[in-house]
Structure 1
Amino acid sequence: MPAPRVAAILIGRNEGPRLVAALAALPPDVAPVIYVDSGSTDGSVAAARAAGARVVALDMTRPFTAARARNEGFAALAPDRPDYVQFIDGDCTLVPGWIETATAFLDAHPAAAVACGRRRERFPEASVWNRLCDAEWDTPVGRATACGGDALMRTAAFAAAGGYNPGLIAGEEPELCVRLRAAGWEIWRLDAEMTLHDAAMTRFRQWWKRTRRAGHAFAEGAAIHGRPPERHFVTETRRAVIWGAALPLAALAGAVMSPWALLLLLLYPVQILRLAPRMGLTRATFLTLGKLPEAVGVAEYWFGRLSGRRAGLIEYK
């Protein structure tokens, strides 16, 4: 039998039935399967072992990040690493045929380090928050600047880049892609179904925390790679600061002098109406209002950096 060409690394904590489904959806010729657990108490470790996965239990006395979990999973592949590794979150399941499609693409494109496809929300009808996630993942097909947490990667490229930055609490995938592209590698988004994701977001608070985490990722990414020519996340950070902090603060401060200053807040519905024809009213509304929690995340990053306090995880479920 030929040696397996594709390994899989799953990460999770207390994913329960979602993890069982994720493991069951892996093709039989994907090996080894590494499951990296971050302190589950719901039987995830036993379920993974029962499914034949090799389990890496993280030392939770050290700061945990998804980036660190993926790196430790990759280290567990040594010494015989397959050509490719499929990273997948424990709340996702692979779509049949994805591994074959992505592997064939990387085989035919030796300059490509990463192939990702369409990640879809499993239950978009369950909440507006789930539908927003599904729309967020509908990224353009072709050569890309970044991928998400689910992606097939060339192991040689991943190893040469040094893997994910384990200190990042969010935005680790785009940051890795910045370094891969700087080394001459390409990132590709294929026109193919890749994974089904279960966001399980049913409350406004979950959306707020997830969007706040995005703001933190924007600020940290811009701090690391914000210089030209990359200017990584600089635009996203600027928009969060302007729309989420500068504008409302200017309106409130100006209202002390004149109530007419509150008219500045009308720029929000104007922005929503400007975006609505392109992306729909619901998405335009939450994209605009999302600048408020994004600005909070930006402020949290800079407060932590200036005070010397490392930010903890921002988890929404």
Structure 2
Amino acid sequence: MSLAAIVIGRNEGARLIACLDALGGVAPVIYVDSGSTDGSVAAAQARGAQVVALDMTQPFTAARARNAGLAALPKEAELVQFLDGDCVVQEGWIAAAVGFLEAQPDVAIVCGRRREINPEASVYNRLIDDEWNTPVGEALYCGGDALMRVAALRAVGGYRADLIAGEEPEMCVRLRQAGWRIWRLEAEMTAHDAQITRFAQWWQRSKRAGHAFAEGAALHGTMPERHWVAEARRALLWGMAGPLAIVLLVVAIGPVGLLGALVYPLQVLRLSRRGGGIWALFSVLGKFAEAQGALGYYRSRLMGRKKRLIEYK
């Protein structure tokens, strides 16, 4: 089956070079650039990639960039490996993924294990590395790195270009509704370089997740999908309703109402039995950022405003 690759990026520098070099056996490689000023375009061209420069006068989303790459694919391309420019495909992944799709004609997307390059650099990188470790087998969604059938993507209209987050899971919902399956292999797929070393970066990333939960639930929250309804509700419960209830308790019965805040350390203790203390602590803290992102989505929707990117790098 004919194979191509689409890489999206902006000012990735040496990471983009490593990404493209690892795709040495794949052609064509299409690099979609979103306004880089670090020589990324020239570096991609020097490595034989076809460059698509996005019109940055239009609102940018990663989904829009991936659609631009999809539109630039040659007609004969049957499979496409999507990659973010800060990722490096691992040896053996392409062959394993292509072989799986050839053997499973009803699978539209196959993904594998994405790992952080430097999980020891920060607690945030370690958390993200654990986040990428999704269950093996049939899956509901994939992430930004995955091997996909071009015909299936085009049949459902590709990515929803106006989404600022959660674009792959949303597209996977539509693919599954069309009868396709998504699969996670027990295979090393890509190495990712998050470079999240500050709390503020992690907060923004969690805030973006909350936005994605709220918008995903708004788009596909009805039965049978219930897409991200539970995630959005948990964010609002722990990140908004909980603090509001504590404030009301204090107003109603005085300082003793602050005892209601003990529900948060108790929740950390409860979750720590499942994934350890560090994960539990940040899972609870993250609900405040997720609630902020969800409320931001609802506010923009109510006021008819355009959604703005939530960036953490």
Would you say same fold, with TM above 0.5? yes
CA distance in 2, matches of 1:227, 1:277: 32
SS of the counterpart of 1:260? Answer: helix
CA distance in 2, matches of 1:287, 1:21: 32
Spell out the pairing of 1:168-183 with structure 2 (5 A cutoff).
168-183=163-178
Spell out the pairing of 1:273-292 with structure 2 (5 A cutoff).
273-292=269-288
Q: One-letter code of the match for 1:153?
A: M
Deviant stretches of 4+, over 4 Å: none
Q: One-letter code of the match for 1:83?
A: E
Structure 1's unaligned 5+ residue stretches are none
* Aligned counterpart in structure 1 of residue 7 of structure 2, from 7, 10, 15: 10
Q: Could you report, residue by residue, the CA deviation over 1:200-244 in whole angstroms, capped at 9, with x for unpaired residues?
A: 001000000000000000000000000011010000000000000
CA distance in 2, matches of 1:91, 1:7: 18
Deviation at 1:253, TM superposition (A): 2.2
Work out whether 1:254 is the aligned partner of 2:249: yes
Q: One-letter code of the match for 2:5?
A: A
* Aligned counterpart in structure 2 of residue 19 of structure 1, from 16, 34, 41: 16
CA distance in 1, matches of 2:152, 2:221: 23
Spell out the pairing of 1:139-288 with structure 2 (5 A cutoff).
139-258=134-253, 259-288=255-284
Number of residue equivalences: 312
Contact 1:222 1:237 in 2 (8 A): yes
Contact 1:251 1:265 in 2 (8 A): yes
Contact 1:81 1:155 in 2 (8 A): no
- What is the root-mean-square deviation of aligned Cα atoms in Å? 0.8
Deviation at 1:262, TM superposition (A): 1.5
TM-score w.r.t. length of structure 1: 0.97
Work out whether 1:316 is the aligned partner of 2:273: no
Structure 2's unaligned 5+ residue stretches are none
CA distance in 2, matches of 1:235, 1:64: 28
* Aligned counterpart in structure 1 of residue 60 of structure 2, from 64, 82, 99: 64
Between 1:161-170 and 1:245-254, the stretch displaced more is 245-254
Deviation at 1:27, TM superposition (A): 3.6
Deviation at 1:297, TM superposition (A): 0.3
Aligned to 2:104: 109
Work out whether 1:54 is the aligned partner of 2:50: yes
Q: One-letter code of the match for 1:115?
A: V
Q: One-letter code of the match for 1:88?
A: L
CA distance in 1, matches of 2:40, 2:171: 28
Q: One-letter code of the match for 1:21?
A: A
CA distance in 2, matches of 1:139, 1:273: 23
SS of the counterpart of 1:290? Answer: helix
CA distance in 1, matches of 2:171, 2:72: 19
SS of the counterpart of 1:35? Answer: strand
Contact 1:244 1:292 in 2 (8 A): yes
Deviation at 1:170, TM superposition (A): 0.2
Deviation at 1:271, TM superposition (A): 1.1
CA distance in 2, matches of 1:72, 1:81: 17
CA distance in 2, matches of 1:27, 1:181: 32
Q: Could you report, residue by residue, the CA deviation over 1:34-55 in whole angstroms, capped at 9, with x for unpaired residues?
A: 0000000000001000111000
SS of the counterpart of 2:55? Answer: coil
State the identity %. 65
CA distance in 2, matches of 1:171, 1:200: 20
Deviation at 1:6, TM superposition (A): 1.1
CA distance in 1, matches of 2:32, 2:304: 29
TM-score w.r.t. length of structure 2: 0.98
Deviation at 1:256, TM superposition (A): 1.6
Deviation at 1:267, TM superposition (A): 1.1
Deviation at 1:13, TM superposition (A): 0.4
